[in-house]
């Protein structure tokens, strides 16, 4: 190690997305040398994101070229809550939103969360759609949660996910007719009175539109970023446009746009049909200079597995499962990018 200066080596390691070296970005938080092995701690913000893994490999490779062994550890950021406070163990809060109902927002939220688990992350999902909670059915999680001694709700576990929904804390199956203050109260309870524990990601399924639930979340929680879901058709894209403006007003980064129901492949003849038009999601992303996260086909398997409580993202052997896995990688990479940009701006 006498001929190798660790920090000089780290200056040769570039960030694959930002193009600058990780040392000048402030990503390196600690460097130690013991018994000829270099230990490097880096703050990449998004556990199990492909780009974070790539940066770790680049660091190890840079030292390996010089005949030195390096061990890299990541130090994920937290969502910004005080230690011991609500969500204090949650590293990233990801909001999934849409401008209108019927675009498959909850489906995207569930499969995004399930795919994150498959990538090795610790994930929770909060069904914040107080008027029409669908997450319990989509995950086959219908029982009431346990309560801790200090009166905190314990999320229901399904498919490796920690699940919480307003359906768990309401009685009966009648319509929910709530005004703003009541919505604020129940969302506050779902955030503050739940024993979420330590999570890499908390995926929050918002109701469609730009109402009280969205405002409560954005005012009370440091949301890491939002994923906006639309279908290709013009009316859905127009409504999603208004959702973009809401996040902009609250300085919430939008991680990108997902185009759901982008095309239907006939299982009998193999021909593809653009039932809801095509390209609307990508055009929306381009108009706001945002990443296009990917397209999800109109696949009957999504509906079947959703009704059975088995998200299609759990099966990567299907085209739709792979589509969700790829868009999840993009969401995680862009989450890490948000953190890395914040550090480089400090």
Identify the pLDDT of residue 262: 72
Helix-helix angle 105-118:300-308, to 10 degrees: 80
Question: Do residues 134 and 175 both lie within one domain?
Answer: yes
Structure tokens at 112: 């995004």
Buried b (16+ CB within 10 A) or exposed e, 127-138: bbbbeebbbbbb
**Could you tell me if residue 345 is inside a domain?**
no
331 annotated binding-site participant: no
**Could you tell me if residue 57 is inside a domain?**
yes
**DSSP line for 197-255:** -SBSEEEEEPPSSSSHHHHHHHHHS---EEEEEE-SSHHHHHHHHHHHHHHHHTTPPEE
Question: Do residues 115 and 154 both lie within one domain?
Answer: yes
Residue 308: CB atoms within 10 Å: 11
Question: Do residues 70 and 129 both lie within one domain?
Answer: no
**DSSP line for 80-118:** SPPTTSTTTTBS-EEEEEESSSSS-HHHHHHHHHHHHHH
102 annotated binding-site participant: yes
Question: Do residues 56 and 195 both lie within one domain?
Answer: no
Identify the pLDDT of residue 240: 75
Question: Do residues 255 and 327 both lie within one domain?
Answer: yes
91 annotated binding-site participant: no
Distance CA 130, CA 151 (A): 21
101 annotated binding-site participant: yes
Question: Do residues 175 and 284 both lie within one domain?
Answer: yes
248 annotated binding-site participant: no
Question: Do residues 68 and 98 both lie within one domain?
Answer: no
Question: Do residues 56 and 125 both lie within one domain?
Answer: no
Identify the pLDDT of residue 100: 74
Q: In the chain, at which residue ranges do the beta strands (DSSP E only) sit?
A: 28-34, 37-42, 69-74, 93-98, 123-127, 156-158, 161-165, 201-205, 225-230, 254-260, 264-265, 272-273, 292-296
CATH number at 272 reads 3.40.50.300
**Could you tell me if residue 175 is inside a domain?**
yes
Question: Do residues 68 and 104 both lie within one domain?
Answer: no
270 annotated binding-site participant: no
Identify the pLDDT of residue 264: 57
Question: What residue has token string 């009704």?
Answer: 307
**Could you tell me if residue 24 is inside a domain?**
yes
Number of domains observed in the structure of the chain: 2
Identify the pLDDT of residue 311: 92
Identify the pLDDT of residue 116: 97
From the DSSP assignment, how many helices (H) and strands (E) are in the chain?
10, 13
**Could you tell me if residue 79 is inside a domain?**
no
Among 49, 117, 91, 111, residue whose Cα is nearest residue 202: 91
CATH number at 31 reads 3.30.300.130
Identify the pLDDT of residue 273: 47
**Could you tell me if residue 186 is inside a domain?**
yes
228 annotated binding-site participant: no
What tens-digit pLDDT sequence spans the chain (346 residues)?
556 799 999 999 999 999 899 999 999 999 999 998 999 999 999 999 999 999 999 999 999 999 999 999 986 555 555 555 568 899 999 999 887 777 888 999 999 999 999 999 999 999 987 777 889 999 998 888 898 888 888 999 999 999 998 888 765 454 454 555 666 777 778 888 899 999 999 999 988 766 667 777 888 888 999 999 988 766 667 677 777 778 888 888 999 999 887 765 555 555 554 545 566 778 888 888 889 998 888 777 887 888 888 999 998 888 889 999 999 999 999 999 999 998 877 6
Question: Do residues 16 and 104 both lie within one domain?
Answer: no
- Helix (H) or strand (E) holding 333, with range, is helix 319-345
Distance CA 311, CA 331 (A): 18
99 annotated binding-site participant: yes
Domain that holds residue 178: 93-335
């Amino acid at each position: 190690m006498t001929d190798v200066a660790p920090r000089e080596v780290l200056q040769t390691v570039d960030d694959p997305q930002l193009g600058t070296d990780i040392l000048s970005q402030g990503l390196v938080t600690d460097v130690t040398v013991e018994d000829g092995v270099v230990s490097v701690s880096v703050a990449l913000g998004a556990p199990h994101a492909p780009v974070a893994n790539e940066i770790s490999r680049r660091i190890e490779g840079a030292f390996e070229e010089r005949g030195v062994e390096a061990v890299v550890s990541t130090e994920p950021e937290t969502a910004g809550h005080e230690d011991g406070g609500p969500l204090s163990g949650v590293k990233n809060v990801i909001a999934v939103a849409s401008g209108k109902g019927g675009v498959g927002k909850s489906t995207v939220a569930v499969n995004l969360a399930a795919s994150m688990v498959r990538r090795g992350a610790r994930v929770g999902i909060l069904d914040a759609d107080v008027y029409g909670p669908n997450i319990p059915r989509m995950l086959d999680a219908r029982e009431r949660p346990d309560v801790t001694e200090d009166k905190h709700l314990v999320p229901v576990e399904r498919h490796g996910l920690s699940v919480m929904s307003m359906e768990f804390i309401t009685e009966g199956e009648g319509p929910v007719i709530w005004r703003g203050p009541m919505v604020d109260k129940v969302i506050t309870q779902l955030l503050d009175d739940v024993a979420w524990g330590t999570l890499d990601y908390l995926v929050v399924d918002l109701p469609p539109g730009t109402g009280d639930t969205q405002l409560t979340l954005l005012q009370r929680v440091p949301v890491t970023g939002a994923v906006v879901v639309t279908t290709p058709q013009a009316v859905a894209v127009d409504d999603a446009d208004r959702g973009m403006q809401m996040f902009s007003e609250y300085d919430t980064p939008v991680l990108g746009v997902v185009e759901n129901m982008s095309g239907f492949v006939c299982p009998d003849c193999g021909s593809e049909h653009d039932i809801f038009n095509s390209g609307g999601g990508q055009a929306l992303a381009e108009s706001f200079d945002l990443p296009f996260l990917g397209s999800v086909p109109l696949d009957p398997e999504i509906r079947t597995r959703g009704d059975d409580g088995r998200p299609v993202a759990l099966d990567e052997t299907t085209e739709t499962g792979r589509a969700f896995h790829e868009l999840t990688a993009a969401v995680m990479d862009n989450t890490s990018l948000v953190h890395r940009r914040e550090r480089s701006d400090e």
